[in-house]
Structure 1
């Protein structure tokens, strides 16, 4: 069968590999997959988590073609999305239900071979059925949506609260829509004007270009003199990480979702002075059902986030294009012909 293999940084191709053995897992005929920022980082050779060679892909949707005996939850013919985070089940985070930060976490397409191939075998408890109403080229968006939901949930966002979000990429734009769903007030911060204009199409009325506007002053105007109660850092920018502490109000909450390239110094005295709750947000746990619901009902819209839908064979070319022109692409989805 065909698979997308990253042999080493900058060396990606479609290759023939053996079809996977079932070995007690659910066999899926892959129909669609997203190209994620982590795939691009692996291609560039800047991800500290990836080993080579690696079959990429963790945003994977397909049709169940066989299930192991005594398996429950899915059946042959089901349309499914893969939850790509394999956990050990025995470490401390797993014992308290936070399997997303398992000490021995394996993310497919990162720590182990992923789903950019014709067939993929995955654990039954990490597969979720999706309604027939969702088109194949929209289903892979469930995985990044789950990450955005988890970030908002880590902040315990409540109706009426102001939530600043730095980074108007796919996660930031999805998180802002989730905040709207919860009847909170998102404020999206990004230096790319095109992304801010796109945000307005989703009903996000408060946007800030930090290169041309005083973010603190504008936020105080929006909040009637206060800063934000919650802040989601989704860009990985060192400047944005640092500014999150300044732009969050006393007794507020901050969640770091983006991955900075280097260590960032933070004024911990402000954590104490403001009594901030500062948290990390990694992957997601328990968020797939809500992500499926929000996408199916249209409470969160993704069409405008999908820059291009391509054929599976075009993945290597578009990995290169996204690497060279990142501002031109929010999300590229690849599909197998029906």
Structure 2
């Protein structure tokens, strides 16, 4: 079978691999769609979590079809379409026992330390796969992980219908953030970013105001928009630049901030912004405990991939797809590979 591999030095290539056989507790799946995440581009460049392992087949935004069951698997059936939630964990350490399996002391992560979805077939532990309803398309399904990453962080925030919220970063996570805030009843959502096409997509998805940070200072613009009060809720989804400080500056007194972007290094902040305004700042970098909720939100029509999944490529065209995402060509937000 075809598999796409990187060693983290900036290159990615195709190899021919044997189709895997499922071990006990595993399921053999045929990959139907896999999103190209920004973290995949980082992995190709050698970035990413300290537990990454090379050489590696990337890809964690996976929709697949079950083709064979390993021994002792009774939670799935051949023919099921499934979505991947790619954490492999021990189940016995303290974080696992407390439900924080994504912080397992022996964590392995599909697409980061375990071969992911940039291939035609894969054998994954059955517990990493969630069946999806017939009404969800493959493209919607492969974006469940993105939306659930944002929702996992937002579950740590309390929102009200009277809140004014800001989303910083109009990539996939941010555009899902706009929709998730609207689904929670927040009607006043500001979206900031650098690219007009993505800001326009945000307006179509429910943002009530958009700010191009290339054209105006987002802190001053939000201060003006809120009559100096700031925003009650801030969802950071950029993982770049000085966006953390922007969050601290635009937050209202007693405001809440969720950081979901993965940064390329440390950032300097003024802790007095947190102290003086008594801000609550939380982080989130996983789809844990949010996958089922996102499936339901897609089914209800509260989430859409319109304006988010903008490009599809056959797996054989992976080089073109990677370059499209890397260079942000042709208005790409999310590109998907179809093996």
Post-superposition shift, 1:168? 0.5
Aligned match of 1:158:
160
* One of 107, 122, 125 as aligned partner of 2:124: 122
Q: Which residue of 2 aligns with 1:54?
A: 56
Shift of 1:204: 1.3
> Aligned-pair distance for 1:17?
0.7
Tell me by how many angstroms 1:217 deviates.
4.1
Q: What is the CA-CA distance between 1:190 and the residue it aligns to?
A: 0.9
**What residue number does 2:290 align with?**
287
Which ranges in structure 2 are unaligned for 5 or more consecutive residues? Answer: none
Deviation, 1:279, is 1.3
Deviation at 1:326, TM superposition (A): 5.8
Inter-partner Cα distance in structure 2 for 1:273 and 1:316: 49
Within 5 Å, give how 1:1-338 maps onto structure 2.
1-24=1-24, 25-49=26-50, 50-184=52-186, 185-325=188-328, 328-336=331-339
Q: Which moved more, 1:198-207 or 1:129-138?
A: 129-138
Contact 2:153 2:282 in 1 (8 A): no
With normalisation by structure 2, the TM-score equals: 0.92
Alpha-carbon displacement from aligned partner over 1:142-181 (angstroms, at most 9, x marks no partner): 1111112112212233333222111111100111110001
Q: Is the 8 A contact 1:137 1:334 kept in 2?
A: no
Structure 1 CA distance, aligned partners of 2:299 and 2:44? Answer: 32
Shift of 1:261: 1.6
Residues 321 and 216 (structure 1), Cα distance of their counterparts in 2 relative to 1, 3 Å cut: closer
Deviation string 1:18-67 (CA, Å, 9 cap, x unpaired) is 22221110111111111111111112223354332111111111111122
Task: Say if 2:69 and 2:77, in contact at 8 Å, map to a contact too.
Answer: yes
Q: Offset of 1:73 from its aligned partner?
A: 2.5
Relative to structure 1, the CA distance from residue 130 to residue 166 in structure 2 (aligned partners, 3 Å threshold; closer, same or farther) is same
Contact 2:223 2:250 in 1 (8 A): no
Q: Is the 8 A contact 1:136 1:335 kept in 2?
A: no
Give unpaired runs (5+ residues) of structure 1.
none
TM-score, scaled to structure 1: 0.93
Q: What secondary structure sits across from 1:304 in the alignment?
A: coil
How far is the alpha carbon of 1:331 from its aligned partner?
Answer: 0.7
CA apart distance, 1:140: 0.6
Kindly provide the CA deviation profile for residues 124-157 of structure 1, in whole angstroms up to 9, marking residues without a partner as x: 2221111112222332111111112112212233
RMSD: 1.9
Q: CA deviation at 1:8?
A: 4.2
Do the aligned residues in 1 keep the contact of 2:236 with 2:243 (CA within 8 Å)?
yes
Report the secondary structure of 1:133's partner residue.
Answer: coil
